[in-house]
């Protein structure tokens, strides 16, 4: 399968089908370098192939990027964490002189459909968050070495790093020119990170975001837009010194050899996608995708050495890779299938036995720690996915511990009360809480899914903590508030059918807004503000004529003509 189907016009109603598979041997836009003499530092260099756009119709000039460039960056972040665990500092820079990155390609944005632009921004945001997660939780500190102009998304890429170094060459600047030049927002976290992360005073942030040429030199440091400017004559040595310092101070767990991330086994048809542990069946008539995650089979690895020997075949990692890939493909390639029904199949005790390995070693083994955080990031993809998520808990399910988080990430949970008619030997549906439900996998708002579900009722969450480690059947799960409803086997099929039909009859726009509002209750974090506020405003601006209309700023950029704005504030 190609990266994207070029026969589809991105300016039309349809969007190209996207393949998220990447491998370092096939990178077109990035260079990943690790010097054997200094293996604790990785150099990630942007070198965009102008002719390498994901779809036809634009050239990626001035190190600008599209979705394909960012898919490669995402792959790099994953391989650094799993394949190169010795790396403790990552330098993000440009392979082109005097040009760090011009941001998202304007011709691509101007010519893309609304869904394409929205999914592009969402994935790009998640990749930036992944860089921050690597710094915070994996001890791989990212440093932006801005060796030329960084504009728009280029500066947003730097903002995701822990430190920003800017070359002092009397011409290089950082800028967010989207508002003055394009009539849109710096939507991959720019506005939020400037104030929340960089602590730029809000009046200065207002000036900066409306000054298209940006700032460089000492003023960029004074305004906290960068951490340090380094003279050109000392640039290479200065950046290397800062990287070595970061690597020395890193908290990354000791690591030996990394593990390879081989291509995923996947079968795609018009009716669904199947992986070894995850499968999705499409019901296009109802607009539904039935997703099933198979729990582990077989014995638990007897030692941490065996976990490392299994590598990418270790069930928690294999399942997470497959689920992550599925979510990305469904979001980009199946926009008309608006309801995802999530099931699990397997033994509760087997699932928890694998989870205990993760819990036992996540504090002292780098690989186990990475697997835990990868599953966390995959759950966060579900949290920000604009689909209705429904969990069905039936006999034979294994929604326990970490897998129960999949159900708790859904908008509703239905649990069958009793056994299926005719299955006299079958067990009733059961769920089980574990310690991982109380902090291992926080949401973008910083809360656990239980704390979010019972927001403001800490006593009830404390009560639920006392219920860990035992099987909970439907009636009790309903009483504890862990499921939305618990129909018996007589009503089950009809209740589920009616619920899904009702969901399909509602406006997908209204559902997207409602679901996003309900999922992120309580406090705001930088991450939840990016997805819940900045992204929502950007999505609205994208469909307004002031940005995307025939006379809008995105369309007029580069023509020498001014945009014709509708001046009414709404």
Burial 357-369 (b: 16+ CB within 10 A, else e): bbbebbeebbbbb
Of residues 465, 482, 479, the one with CA closest to residue 414: 482
Q: Evaluate whether 258 touches 85 at the Cβ level (below 8 Å).
A: yes
Q: Which of 229, 77, 207 is nearest to 150 (CA)?
A: 229
Inter-residue contact 461 to 450 (CB < 8 Å): yes
Give the separation between CA 46 and CA 529, rounded to whole angstroms.
28
Q: How far, in Å, are 102, 397, 430, 451 from residue 415 at the CA level?
A: 50, 10, 8, 21
Over range 73-88, report the average pLDDT.
98
Q: At CB < 8 A and 24+ separation, what contacts does 345-348 make?
A: 345/292, 345/293, 345/294, 345/295, 345/396, 345/397, 345/398, 346/294, 346/295, 346/296, 346/297, 346/396, 346/397, 346/398, 347/295, 347/398, 348/398, 348/400, 348/430, 348/432, 348/471
Instruction: Note the pLDDT of residue 16.
Output: 81
Measured in whole angstroms, the distance separating CA 104 from the mean position of its chain's CA atoms is 18
* Residue 446 burial (10 A CB sphere; 0-12, 13-18, 19+): middle
CA 349 centroid distance within chain? 30
Q: Share the mean pLDDT of the chain.
A: 94
Which residues, listed in sequence order, are joined to residue 144 by a DSSP beta bridge? 92, 164
Question: Which residue segments constitute the domains of the chain, with CATH numbers given?
Answer: 24-249 (3.90.226.10), 268-519 (3.90.226.10)
pLDDT value for 11: 41
- Residues sharing a CB contact under 8 Å with residue 558, sequence separation 6 or more, in sequence order: 106
| 3-state class (DSSP) for residue 196 | helix
User: How high is the pLDDT of residue 298?
Assistant: 78
Residue 5: its pLDDT value, please?
43
Burial class (CB in 10 A: 0-12, 13-18, 19+), 188: buried
Closest CA to 77 of 16, 116, 123, 117: 123
Question: Taking Cα atoms as reference points, which of 220, 124, 121 lies closest to residue 164?
Answer: 220
- For 12, 440, 447, the CA distances from 519, given in Å and listed in that order, are 31, 18, 11
Give me the residues paired with residue 345 across strands: 294
CB-based contact 82:69 (threshold 8 Å): no
Q: Evaluate if residue 278 carries a pLDDT over 50.
A: yes
The first and second tokens of residue 516, run together, are 């996003």
The radius of gyration of the chain's CA atoms, rounded to the nearest angstrom, is 24
The least confident of 197-206, 402-411, 502-511, 535-544 is 535-544
Judged by DSSP in three states, 239 sits in: helix
Question: Binning pLDDT at 50, 70 and 90, where does residue 363 land?
Answer: confident
- Please tell me the least confidently modeled range out of 29-38, 77-86, 349-358, 482-491: 349-358
Question: Which of 454, 342, 446 has its CA nearest to residue 387?
Answer: 342
Each residue's pLDDT tens digit, 179-207: 999 999 999 999 999 999 999 999 999 99
Question: Measured between alpha carbons, how far is 451 from 442 in angstroms, rounded to an integer?
Answer: 10
pLDDT above 70 coverage of the chain, percent = 96
Contact 204, 50 (CB under 8 A): no
Q: Using one digit for the tens of pLDDT, what is the confidence trace for 114-155?
A: 999 999 999 999 999 999 999 999 999 999 999 999 999 999
CB 289 within 8 A of CB 337: yes
What does the pLDDT average to over 264-275? 97
Alpha carbon distance 191, 189 (integer Å): 6
| Angstrom distance (rounded) from CA 137 to CA 508 | 36
For residue 34, give the H/E element and its range: strand 30-34
Q: How confident is the model at residue 563 (pLDDT cuts 50, 70, 90)?
A: very high
* 301 pLDDT more than 80: yes
Helix (H, G, I), strand (E, B) or coil at 165: strand
């Amino acid at each position: 399968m190609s990266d994207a189907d070029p026969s589809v016009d991105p300016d039309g109603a349809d969007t190209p089908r996207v393949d998220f598979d990447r491998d370092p041997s096939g990178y077109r836009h990035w260079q990943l370098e690790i010097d054997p003499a200094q293996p604790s530092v990785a150099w990630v260099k942007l070198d965009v192939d102008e002719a390498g756009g994901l779809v036809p119709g634009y050239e990626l000039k001035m190190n600008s990027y599209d979705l394909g460039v960012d898919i490669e960056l995402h792959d790099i972040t994953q391989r650094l964490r799993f394949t190169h665990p010795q790396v403790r500092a990552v330098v993000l820079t440009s392979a082109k002189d005097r040009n760090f990155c011009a941001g998202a390609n304007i011709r691509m944005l101007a010519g893309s459909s609304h869904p394409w632009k929205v999914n592009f921004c969402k994935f790009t945001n998640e990749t930036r968050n992944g860089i921050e997660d690597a710094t915070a939780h994996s001890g791989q500190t990212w440093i932006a070495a801005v060796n030329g102009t960084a504009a728009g998304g280029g500066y947003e890429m730097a903002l995701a790093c822990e430190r920003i170094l800017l070359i002092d060459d009397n011409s290089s600047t950082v800028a967010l020119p989207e508002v003055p030049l394009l009539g849109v927002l710096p939507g991959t976290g720019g506005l939020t990170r400037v104030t929340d992360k960089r602590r730029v005073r809000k009046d200065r942030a207002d000036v900066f975001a409306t000054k298209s040429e940006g700032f460089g030199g000492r003023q960029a440091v004074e305004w906290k837009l960068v951490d340090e400017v380094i003279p050109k004559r000392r640039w290479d040595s200065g950046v290397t010194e800062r990287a070595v310092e970061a690597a020395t101070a890193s908290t990354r767990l000791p690591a030996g050899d990394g593990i390879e991330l081989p291509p995923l086994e996947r079968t795609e048809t018009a009716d669904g996608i199947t992986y070894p542990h995850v499968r999705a069946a499409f019901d296009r008539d109802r607009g539904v995708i039935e997703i099933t995650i198979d729990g582990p089979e077989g014995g638990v690895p007897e030692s941490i050495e065996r976990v490392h020997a299994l590598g990418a075949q270790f069930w928690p990692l294999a399942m997470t890779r497959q689920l992550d890939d599925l979510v990305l493909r469904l979001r980009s390639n199946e926009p008309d299938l608006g309801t995802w029904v999530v099931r699990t199949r397997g033994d509760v005790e087997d699932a928890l036995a694998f989870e205990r390995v993760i819990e036992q070693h996540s504090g002292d083994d780098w690989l186990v720690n990475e697997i835990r955080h990868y599953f966390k990031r995959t759950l966060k993809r579900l949290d920000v996915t604009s689909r209705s998520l429904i969990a069905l808990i039936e006999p034979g399910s294994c929604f326990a511990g970490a897998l129960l988080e999949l159900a708790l990430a859904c908008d509703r949970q239905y649990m069958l009360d009793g056994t299926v008619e005719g299955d006299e030997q079958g067990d009733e549906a059961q769920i089980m809480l574990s310690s991982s439900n109380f902090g291992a996998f926080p949401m973008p708002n910083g809360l656990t899914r239980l704390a979010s579900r019972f927001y403001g009722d800490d006593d009830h969450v404390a009560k639920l903590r006392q219920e860990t480690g035992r099987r909970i059947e439907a009636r009790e799960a309903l009483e504890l508030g862990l499921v939305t409803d618990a129909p018996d086997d007589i009503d089950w099929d009809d209740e589920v059918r009616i619920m899904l039909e009702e969901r399909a009859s509602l406006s997908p726009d209204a559902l997207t807004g409602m679901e996003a509002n309900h999922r992120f209750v309580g406090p705001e974090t930088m991450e939840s503000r990016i997805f819940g506020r900045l992204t929502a405003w950007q999505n609205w601006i994208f469909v307004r004529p002031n940005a995307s209309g025939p006379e809008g700023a995105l369309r007029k950029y580069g023509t020498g003509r001014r945009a014709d704005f509708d001046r009414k504030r709404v």
